[in-house]
Amino acid sequence: MIEQLSWKVGGQQGEGIESTGEIFSTALNRLGYYLYGYRHFSSRIKGGHTNNKIRVSTKPVRAVADDLDILVAFDQETIDFNFHELHSGGIVIADAKFNPVIPEGKGVALYAVPFTDIATQLGNPLMKNMVAIGATSAVLDLDAAVFESVVVDTFGRKGAQVVGKNMEAIRAGAQYMKDELNGQAKTMKLAKADGKRRMFMIGNDAIALGAIAGGARFMAAYPITPASEIMEYLIKKLPDFGGAVIQTEDEIAACTMAIGANYAGVRAFTASAGPGLSLMAEAIGLAGMTETPLVVVDTQRGGPSTGLPTKQEQSDLLAMIYGTHGEIPKIVMAPSTVEEAFYDMAEAFNLAEEYQCPVIFLSDLQLSLGKQTVEPLDYDRVEIRRGKLMNGELPPLPDKDNFKRYEITPDGVSPRVLPGTKYGIHHVTGVEHAETGRPSETAANRRAQMEKRMRKLEHIHFPTPVHKQLRHEEPDLLLIGFLSTRGAIEEAMERLEQDGVKVNHAHIRLLHPFPVDDIRPLVEKAKRVVVVEQNATGQLANLLKMNVGHADKIASVLKFDGNPFLPGDVYTKCKELLAQWPPLKISAMM
Amino acid sequence: MATFKDFRNDVKPNWCPGCGDFSVQAAIQRAAANLGLEPHQLAVISGIGCSGRISGYIHSYGFHGTHGRVLPLAQGVKMANRDLTVIAAGGDGDGFAIGMGHTVHAIRRNIDITYIVMDNQIYGLTKGQTSPRSAAGFQTKSTPYGSIEPALSPLEIALSAGATFVAQGFSSDLKELTSLIEEGVKHKGFALINVFSPCVTYNKVNTYEWFKERLVKISDIEGYDPSDREKAMQTVMKYDGLVTGIIYQNKEQKSYQELVPGYSETPLAEAELKMSKEKFAELVAEFM
């Protein structure tokens, strides 16, 4: 009986690898298991190795597993590329068609199952994926019937016959494997799950759902990996809310259009990845200067330039904080789980309106595309707050006077009226301007308006700027990260604790303005600090040093090879650093 | 009822005396009054350059954005509030150089806004460099030996991009310009109005006199039918773009807003931001 399973299916891109993983994991999710999936794919449509690694557990999991119990292979390349992840006792289930071979001596068993032949005999070679799922279910001692509801959902619109054939393929695969195993001890019987129905979604789903829940009714966007799912979801759903999505000619248009829509009173946003964000830099500055609310999602991927478009990285951080010319107030937030991605995205629209500034909602490829089981989302927790937006009728202004849209106020936030409002006329410009919005270049006005804008975020109210897991008053080690590394850090922390290391963990959810008051005491009390992040220069570590000091006790664990952190990566590198503290080099790279 | 004076404010334009942009400003004010608009019902969205300042010189809502991005901004405003009259305005550099990508796509998208280009064939605010509208051979600070590149034809580009309303005016003819803007605003879709708006400081070639000698009124061409796209293209080519009036109008094509599935018939800015718990449960269930 096992509590946890690490399963991977691999083959050529375009061969249905994704749907194999999808059907397998959705069915297990429906049984109440906690799932965490991560896809390895390339920037091409057909061909090239792709795989989907799925972790199944009776308890919540938020990281890719270090190793592998079962590898389902549709080609030899899958075995060659992934075999090293299998532990002793692991299983390879491969299509007999390509005469699979595995390296000797690791204690891994190979089962060559005629996926393609069985599928062809049943009438369609494409059903080889179903045969593979069936073979897996036999190893796990799962009844083939558990896949039925998912098969119905997936193929139902193609008719009952297609559904029937696919189920037949699953059963045939299961039967073949049962005969093959012949009662051998190779079965990895999964402990029973709690049977609760939970959501199973990627981070981008949660971001998109959070946007709608947060009142977003307009989106302008340009397709890009790994952000496109957000716009695709809104294109499907916004018509129900009277809203619209425009696929623009480029990201400059997307961001600027979202600014125009926000200015006119709709909660509007855009979503992109690094290259798109680079193009949007000027527009984000416009939103900052004109104090127009704006939400921009950046699903980080491997940079620079086109970089690694389908791989994990967290290297946009400093560009997102500082990446406009001149100085503007800006909020940069980064959820650490899919659940937080939902709530934080909804909240981003409140912050944008309350502080009348751009909000950069950071994600990363692993968080955006990793598919996982999600705890129930509570819509009652979603608030709509519109800050100083003026409602109702305004008093008449003296003849031809402008409404003071940029009135100097103690908190820096000025009353905001929407175009179309009687007696609210004012000018908006990216040129430095006076309280009425009219251009002004006087030194006194410049100082007053600059100070007013920067003052807005001095006392920002952000619900949970830091997710803290504090077990010790004075820990040996404080681990710090942001976004999708949370799961890997949490698991590494458990292992370090088992080794007797006292570990605290802080995952930063508000990157800018930096939550100095929340972080500083944690850093001060820790003997050592290790910042875990997916870039080559230690951007978060540098931000930390800049804001709270203590550079002499802050080291980095960095990974920038395109793959997500595994718990074992963090654990091993932390052990290395602790064994030789102070580290000779400030960074330990993966 | 508002008069054109109600669309004036007390800001003194920083344009040079004699600049063609004064007429565009006046024509927008007159057209807005003639259309029965109140100042708060109009949003003038502008780009960067001498022309971009225009949004600050009209008593209405105004947004002076970034260089070349007037159309994305204006389209966003209109999508958010379909009851607002949205006029986008900018120069030839703004619309046909840095912003050309947006111009072509705004044309084919056909959102119901009016785009006025103040075309002076030169970069004025940066003190006299060549523009994509400068003729080959045109000498400027950036083309001291004469421009090598030919001028592009916005009217031909608009027609080939699927424009539903293409017009051209001239700053000297305020009456015609006012009427073109009125028609552009009334048009249900994207209206492009290119306006010859001479730069009296840096363009000593394309002067008021130069245009007066060459411009042909489309209304003077016998039997001209603005619904005939092929004829429109031929006419623009025949006169080398030096025609004024409504060159093409497609009254049949629906605007973008009319075609977006489910798009709110009332201003989106007034949409309810909450949803029912049932609706939320329905959305969530799709992920189970």
Question: Which tokens in the block code for residue A378?
Answer: 């509570």
Domain harbouring A528, CATH code: 3.40.50.920
pLDDT for A183 beyond 80: no
Q: Which of B14, B67, B79, B94 to mutate to test the interface with A (most CBs of A within 10 A)?
A: B79
Q: Are residues A224 and A275 in the same domain?
A: yes
Model confidence at B130: pLDDT above 80? yes
Confidence of residue A15 (pLDDT cuts 50, 70, 90): confident
Strand, helix or coil at B220? helix
User: For testing the chain B interface, which of A256, A280, A350, A390 should be mutated: the one with the most B CBs within 10 Å?
Assistant: A256
- Buried b / exposed e over A174-188, threshold 16 CB at 10 Å, is bebbbebbeeeebbb
Contact across the interface for B59 and A400, Cβ inside 8 Å: yes
Is A154 near chain B, with CB under 8 Å? no
* A63 and A132 share one domain: yes
Interface test with A, best of B125, B279, B280, B287 (most A CBs within 10 A): B287
A-to-B residue pairs, Cβ atoms closer than 8 angstroms: 206
What is the layout of strands, in order, in the sheet containing B61-64?
A427-429, B61-64, B42-46, B85-91, B114-119, B191-196, B165-170, B243-249, B216-217
User: Helix (H, G, I), strand (E, B), or coil: what is residue A433?
Assistant: strand
Q: How far is B95 from chain A (nearest CA, A)?
A: 13
In the chain, the amino acid numbered A30 is R
A28, amino acid identity: L
User: What six digits make up the tokens of A127?
Assistant: 């059903």
Does residue A160 sit in the same domain as residue A291? no
| pLDDT tens figures, A433-482 | 999 999 999 999 999 999 999 999 998 999 899 999 999 999 999 999 99
Q: Is pLDDT above 60 for A249?
A: yes
Is any Cβ of chain A less than 8 angstroms from the Cβ of B5? no
pLDDT at A396 over 70: yes
8 Å CB contact between A48 and A81:
no
Domain C-terminal end among A181, A212, A247: A181
| ipTM entry | 0.98
> Residues in chain A, how many?
590
A513 prior amide bond cis, ω within 30: yes
CB A508 within 8 Å of CB A334: yes
Chain-chain contact of B273 with A263 (C-beta, under 8 angstroms) = no
| Contact criterion met (CB below 8 Å) for B123 and B73 | no
Domain encompassing residue A46 = 4-181
Q: How far is residue A136's CA from residue B193's CA, in Å, rounded to a whole number?
A: 66
Mean pLDDT score, A3-10: 96
Residues A224 and A321 reside in one and the same domain: yes
CB A264 to CB B43 under 8 A? yes
Say yes or no: B150 contacts chain A, CB-CB below 8 A: no
A75-82's contacts with Cβ under 8 Å and 24+ in sequence apart are A75/A10, A75/A11, A75/A12, A75/A49, A76/A100, A76/A101, A77/A10, A77/A12, A77/A49, A78/A10, A78/A11, A78/A49, A78/A51, A81/A10, A81/A49, A81/A51, A82/A8, A82/A10, A82/A51
pLDDT at A397: 86
One DSSP character per residue, A209-272 reads HHHHHTT--EEEE---TTTHHHHHHHHHHGGGGT-EEEE-SSHHHHHHHHHHHHHTT--EEEEE
Q: Do B39 and A425 touch (CB under 8 A)?
A: yes
pLDDT digits (tens, 9 = 90+) for B85-116: 999 999 999 999 999 999 999 999 999 999 99
**Average pLDDT score, chain A:** 95
Mutation to test the A interface, candidates B73, B100, B264, most A Cβ within 10 Å = B73
Decide if B81 and A248 are in contact by the 8 Å CB cutoff.
Answer: no
The partner residue sitting opposite A264, judged by closest CB among B8, B104, B269, is B269
Which of A248, A286, A420 is facing B65, going by the closest CB pair?
A286
- Round to whole Å and give the CA distance between B77 and A554: 47
**Which of A222, A428, A436 has the highest number of chain B CBs within 10 A, making it the mutation to test binding with B?**
A428
**Hey, is the C-beta of A505 within 8 angstroms of any chain B C-beta?**
no
On whether residue A148 sits in a domain, the answer given is yes
Say how far apart CA A283 and CA A278 lie, in whole Å. 10
Whether residue A121 is contained in a domain is answered as yes
CB contact under 8 A, A256 and B73: yes
Evaluate whether residue A318 is within a structural domain. Answer: yes
pLDDT in tens, A479-501: 999 999 999 999 999 999 999 99
User: Is the same domain home to A323 and A435?
Assistant: no
pLDDT exceeds 70 at position B260: yes
Residue A43's pLDDT band, with cuts at 50, 70 and 90, is confident
Nearest by CB: B84 against A217, A268, A419: A419
Residue A402 has pLDDT above 80, yes or no: yes
- Judge residue B102's burial from the number of C-beta atoms within 10 Å of its C-beta, 0-12 exposed, 13-18 middle, 19 or more buried: buried
Residue A586 has pLDDT above 80, yes or no: no
pLDDT digits (tens, 9 = 90+) for A512-562: 999 999 999 999 999 999 999 999 999 999 999 999 999 999 999 999 999
Write down which residue in A349, A365, A381 finishes a domain. Answer: A381
Nearest C-alpha neighbor of A324 from the set A413, A225, A269, A255: A255
Bigger pLDDT: A42 vs A261: A261
Whether B80 has its CB under 8 Å from any CB of chain A: the answer is yes
> Nearest chain B Cα to A269, which residue?
B76
Q: Which residues touch A211 (CB under 8 Å, ≥6 apart)?
A: A219, A230, A234, A269, A295, A345, A346, A349
- Mean pLDDT for A77-98 is 96
Contacts of B263 in chain A (CB under 8 A): 239, 242-244
Dihedral pair phi/psi, residue A440, rounded to 5°: -150, 130
Asked whether the beta carbons of A69 and A87 are under 8 A apart, the reply is: yes
B86 by Cβ neighbours in 10 Å (0-12 / 13-18 / 19+) ranks as buried
CB contact under 8 A, B64 and A241: no
d(CA A439, CA A432) in angstroms, rounded, equals 6
CA distance A468 to chain B (A): 28
Categorize the per-residue pLDDT at A186 as very low, low, confident or very high, splitting at 50, 70 and 90: low
Residue A51's nearest CA partner among A66, A41, A37 is: A41
For residues A476 and A583, state if they share a domain. Answer: yes
The answer to whether residue A366 is domain-embedded is yes
The edge-to-edge listing of strands for the beta sheet with A109-113 is A109-113, A86-95, A68-73, A4-12, A49-57, A34-40, A371-374, A199-202
Question: Which of B66, B85, B104, B279 would you mutate first to test chain A, the one with the most A CBs within 10 A?
Answer: B66
- pLDDT (tens digit, 9 = 90+) per residue, A103-153? 998 999 999 999 999 999 999 999 999 999 999 999 999 999 999 999 999
Q: Is the predicted pLDDT of residue B140 greater than 80, yes or no?
A: yes
CA distance A86 to B102: 52
**A305 in any annotated domain:** yes
Q: Are A361 and A430 in a shared domain?
A: no
* Cβ of residue A250 closer than 8 Å to a chain B Cβ: yes
User: Within a domain: residue A143?
Assistant: yes
Residue A480 bridge partners (DSSP): A506, A531
Does residue A187 lie in a domain region?
Answer: no
Phi first, then psi, for residue B212 (nearest 5°) are: -60, -35
**What length is written for chain B?**
288
- Give the CA count within 13 Å in the CB-facing half-sphere of A138: 26
Tokens of A237: 């759903």
DSSP string, A441-467: --HHHHHHHHHHHHHTTTT---S-SEE
Return residues 183-222 of A near B (CB < 8 Å). Answer: 197-201, 205, 209, 212-215, 217-218, 220
Taking residues A553-581, report their average pLDDT. Answer: 96
More confident residue, A392 or A578: A578
Domain shared by A152 and A58, yes or no: yes
Are residues A36 and A172 located together in one domain of the fold? Answer: yes
Is B4-261 CATH 3.10.20.600? Answer: no
DSSP per position, B50-111: TGGGGGGGBSSEEEE--TT-HHHHHHHHHHH-TTSEEEEEEEHHIIIIITHHHHHHHHHHT-
- Asked whether residue A63 falls in the same domain as residue A140, the answer is yes
Show which of residues 174-233 on chain B sit within 8 Å of chain A, judged by CB atoms. none
Considering the domain architecture, whether residues A111 and A249 belong to the same structural domain is answered as: no
Look at A40-44, A71-75, A325-329, B12-16 and tell me which has the smallest mean pLDDT.
A40-44
The DSSP-derived string for A320-375 is HHH-SSS----EEE--SSHHHHHHHHHHHHHHHHHHTSEEEEEEEHHHHH-EEEEP
Which backbone phi and psi does B233 adopt, to 5 degrees? -65, -45
**A479 three-class SS:** strand
Which whole number is the average pLDDT over A407-417?
98
Q: Total structural domains in chain A?
A: 4
**Cα-trace Rg, chain B:** 20
**What is the β-pairing status of strands B122-123 and B61-64?**
unpaired
Last residue of a domain, one of A381, A397, A429: A381
DSSP 8-class letter at A416:
B
Q: Examine residue A555 and state whether it is found in any structural domain, yes or no.
A: yes
Residue A454 one-letter amino acid: M
Residue A217 identity: R
How high is the pLDDT of residue A585? Answer: 67
Question: Chain B within 8 Å of A375 (Cβ-Cβ)?
Answer: no
Report helix, strand or coil for B46.
strand
Minimum distance, in Å, between the CA of residue A480 and any CA atom of chain B:
31
Determine the pLDDT at residue A391. Answer: 85
- CA angle B266/B272/B276 to nearest 5° reads 135
Give the three-state DSSP class for A515: coil
Residue-wise pLDDT tens digits, A366-384:
999 999 999 999 999 999 9
What CATH number corresponds to the domain at position A78? 3.40.920.10
Minimum-distance CB partner of A256 among B10, B72, B260: B72
Model confidence over A16-35: pLDDT tens digits? Answer: 898 899 999 999 999 999 99
Considering CB atoms only, which of A374, A384, A420 is closest to B40? A420
Q: Give yes or no: residues A163 and A218 share one domain.
A: no
Residue A203 has pLDDT above 80, yes or no: yes
Residue that the structure tokens 């819509």 belong to: A379
CA atoms of A90 and A509, how far apart (whole Å):
38
Of A242, A262, A376, the CB nearest to B271: A242
